[in-house]
Amino acid sequence: MKRVLISLVLVVVVMASLSLSPLVPAAQAAEIKVGVLMPLTGYIAFFGKMQEAALRLAQKEFAKAGPSGGFDLKFVIYDTGSKPQDAILMAQKLMHTDKVHLIVGPFLSTECEQVFPIVNRDKVPIVTGSSAKPGLTAASRPWTFRNIMTSDKINEPTIKAWVQQKNIKTVAILTDIKSRVSESYGKGVAPTFLKKYGVQIVEDINFVTEDIDFSAQVTKVKAANPDGIVLAGEYAPSANIAREVRKQGMKQPFLADVPTVSPEFVKLGGEAVEGTYAPTDFWAGNPDPKVQDFVKKFKQEYGQDKDPHTTTGCFYDALYVTRFIVGKAGLSGKPADLQKDREKIRDGWASLKDFAGDATGKTTIDKDGDAWKAFYTLTVKSGQWVKAP
């Protein structure tokens, strides 16, 4: 009888513990906070919305994969409104109020020019997946990084190919002096390499991003009659200039920079932009199976049949690099160790070598905090960006 009573007690205890177990929540992984600065409003919001979709996609994939190194990534997102002053305020909030471990962004070089020195001073790692103006990270060491090729590194092969294949001896350059990356390209990068390959600049014309009517500028270009025309601007004004050039009866070939490698440039420019040359470190038509898988998933998440932009791919891979670093850096995750954890994340970015991203392939960070990746010279053919011959 005594044995029976003991057995019954054990059964009751076991059943009670089993019935209570669903009430005890499973231990949750600790969180590493990642601040995100993106332009969800303002004149460059088109690209920010694409980055937002890439972030949603990455979040779903991270949730499915589970914690990295025992940590989940918690994203704190702010809209910069495409304005440098707002980007500064949001960066300060991320660092000192939200106490993030890392910031991804901002988008524009004009924003990064203002934000990078402040974040570097306050010792928080920051990485942009879009700002390509040379020298920005080198000027704010050692906390600033970028996961995109700078304009100077990526452009020389494209300029050389365009000059040689199109037999260019003279050019006119039209530069958006409000955009820092476009100004850097039109006033520095493009002239440097054009002169290196024996090209004379016969007309140098300025405009600003918001301009719509380019008839006066193009009339000056027509009078100079160059062999080729360089479009140093964002996708919209560059496409509008190209249309005005064709409207005035000119047939010269176009050379452009990374910001034009967008489906919107081709859509807006139409037949006028056929044959345009530009460089990129990502394009949606890349036949690599990993790239095509990313493009497919992105379109499903974005909800529109639009190809992701170069900056979308670089941003997406920056999120994966961050997750990779968090997984191997030996972080504490405790509030008291926030600065030590920030230093470990910074060191992870600084030592990154041959990270295999799905969208942009292998990435290595150099001593200046800049990325080195595979890059390509593209041309517009039959309404699509394709690899140039």
Q: In which order are the strands placed within the sheet that holds 376-381? A: 200-207, 170-176, 228-232, 254-256, 277-280, 376-381, 384-387
Distance CA 373, CA 297 (A): 22
What pLDDT sits at residue 24? 37
- Model confidence over 247-291: pLDDT tens digits? 999 999 999 999 999 889 999 999 999 999 999 999 999 999 999
Distance CA 389, CA 364 (A): 27
Tokens of 307: 């190809």
Question: Which residues lie below 8 Å from residue 367, measured CB to CB, with a gap of 6+?
Answer: none
Residue whose pair of structure tokens reads 């920051």 in the numeric block: 126
Distance CA 261, CA 245 (A): 19
Q: What does 241-268 look like in DSSP terms, one character per residue?
A: HHHHHHHTT----EEE-GGG-SHHHHHH
CA angle (245 as vertex; 244, 251 as ends), nearest 5: 150
What pLDDT sits at residue 28? 65
Judged by phi (left if over 0) then psi (alpha if -120 to 50, else beta), residue 212 lies in: alpha
* Helix/strand/coil percent split, the chain, to 5: 50, 20, 30
CATH class of 152-280: alpha beta
Please give the C-alpha separations between residue 66 and each of 29, 31, 71, 73, in angstroms, as whole numbers.
9, 12, 9, 10
Query: 30-149+288-375 and 152-280 share one CATH topology?
Result: yes
Q: How far is CA 211 from the centre of its chain?
A: 25
Query: What residue ranges do the domains of the chain occupy?
Result: 30-149+288-375, 152-280
In tens digits, what is the pLDDT along the chain, a chain of 389 residues? Answer: 333 333 333 333 333 333 333 433 445 678 999 999 999 999 899 999 999 999 999 999 999 999 999 999 999 999 999 999 999 999 999 999 999 999 999 999 999 999 999 999 999 999 999 999 999 999 999 999 999 999 999 999 999 999 999 999 999 999 999 998 899 999 999 999 999 999 999 999 999 988 999 999 999 999 999 999 999 999 999 999 999 999 999 999 999 999 999 889 999 999 999 999 999 999 999 999 999 999 999 999 998 888 999 999 999 999 999 999 999 999 999 999 999 999 999 999 999 999 999 999 999 999 999 999 999 999 999 999 999 98
DSSP bridge pairs for 365: 371
CATH class of 30-149+288-375: alpha beta
What pLDDT sits at residue 1? 39
Q: Which of 251, 184, 257 is nearest to 218 (CA)?
A: 251
What pLDDT sits at residue 93? 99
Distance CA 364, CA 285 (A): 23
306 DSSP 8-state letter: -
Kind of pairing, strands 200-207 and 376-381? Answer: unpaired
What pLDDT sits at residue 29? 74
Residue whose pair of structure tokens reads 């499973």 in the numeric block: 26
- Model confidence over 40-73: pLDDT tens digits? 999 899 999 999 999 999 999 999 999 999 999 9
What pLDDT sits at residue 306? 86
